[in-house]
Amino acid sequence: MTILAVLQEPDPRLRKPSQRIDLIDAEVRRLAHDMLDTMYHLGGCGLAAPQVNTRRRVIVVDTSASGDAPLILVNPVLHHHGDRMARFEEGCLSIPDLYVAVRRPAEICVHALDLDSNPTAWEGGGWAAAVIQHEIDHLDGRLLTDALSPKDKMRHSMRQQRRHR
């Protein structure tokens, strides 16, 4: 079991887009499993590779009540989504103590690869769809703070400044 260090906002590395993975090898598999160990250890329900300072397109998710249904997606792409929107309060392991109500498509279909390089798809809605979209945002350099209103961004920035004094 390897627990990885999670980058914290405002670390600029969180804003860098991730690179597509051409070969799923032992290193990628180890990364995915270490990410799962880290996510479970920290009590999260999703983690993206950029959060552990790896610019590769890998996310791990587990929204099950029992915490024993991991989903690992390599090179995930949001293929389509429904017209209905949903709002969920989201948190982030890279931005502790911040929770933001984010409006996202309620149902999605994501295409990706599994750890055996097989094409796979995840289709569904609810909280799991929100978490998957949140993690894909990380792969593209977007953070939860991007969903804040200008007023709330200023408040968050002031809190960050106080925290780093």
The active-site residue, picked from 27, 89, 123, 135, is 135
Q: What's the CA gap between 80 and 74, in Å, rounded?
A: 17
123 is catalytic: no
Tell me which residue of 11, 84, 86, 21 sits closest to 52, measured CA to CA: 11
Q: Are 86 and 125 in contact (CB under 8 A)?
A: yes
Tell me which residue of 26, 66, 30 sits closest to 49, measured CA to CA: 30
Per-position b or e across 114-140, b if 16+ CB within 10 A of its CB:
eeeeeebebeeeeebbbbbbbbbbbbe
Would you please indicate which residues are annotated as catalytic (active-site) residues? 135
